[in-house]
Amino acid sequence: MTAADVVDAGAERAPVAPDLGSALGSLAEAAVGRLSDKVDEWIQGLEEYAASEGATGGAILAGVKAHLQGKNPVWAAMKGAWSGASVQLRVVAVLVLLLVLLLAPVALLVVILGLLIAAIVAGIRGATR
């Protein structure tokens, strides 16, 4: 005789009352409903905090949301910071970006000229030795 035979032969299971099953089902639904309400309250609190903190709070909230959703948190944080920034900060950011774009060719030209001068100096030093 195996253990499975002993369990099958001696174990009589009590029937589950249909009221107990429905009661457990309604209890589970109530627990999930309360948990959902709590999560909604937490998210609303985070959104209110982010709105009060401006660009930094918006960036943090957007980054966390994106991470939890499996998206790129860096891009979401950048968009959240932009949407939370004041108008003055946005204007300054655009002006700095335009200034960088306008001065980048000048900086590149200076680097190229510096490398050209370094190559000429190295050539002259090599030829005189």
In angstroms, how far is CA 89 from the centroid of its own chain?
Answer: 23
H/E/C letters for each residue in 31-88?
HHHHHHHHHHHHHHHHHHHHHHHCHHHHHHHHHHHHHHHCCCHHHHHHHHHHHHCCHH
pLDDT average, residue stretch 72-95: 89
Question: What pLDDT score does 68 carry?
Answer: 85
**pLDDT tens-digit series, residues 29-40:** 888 889 888 888
What residue ranges do the domains of the chain occupy?
17-85, 87-129
pLDDT confidence tier of residue 18, bands split at 50, 70 and 90: low
Question: What pLDDT score does 7 carry?
Answer: 52
pTM of the predicted model as reported, rounded to 2 decimal places: 0.46
Question: What pLDDT score does 9 carry?
Answer: 54
User: Token digits for 53?
Assistant: 């903190």
pLDDT average, residue stretch 1-10: 54
Residue 21 has pLDDT above 80, yes or no: no
User: Residues 68, 70, 74, 79: is their CA dihedral positive or negative?
Assistant: negative
Question: What pLDDT score does 14 carry?
Answer: 54
Specify burial of residue 11 (Cβ count, 10 A radius: 0-12, 13-18, 19+): exposed
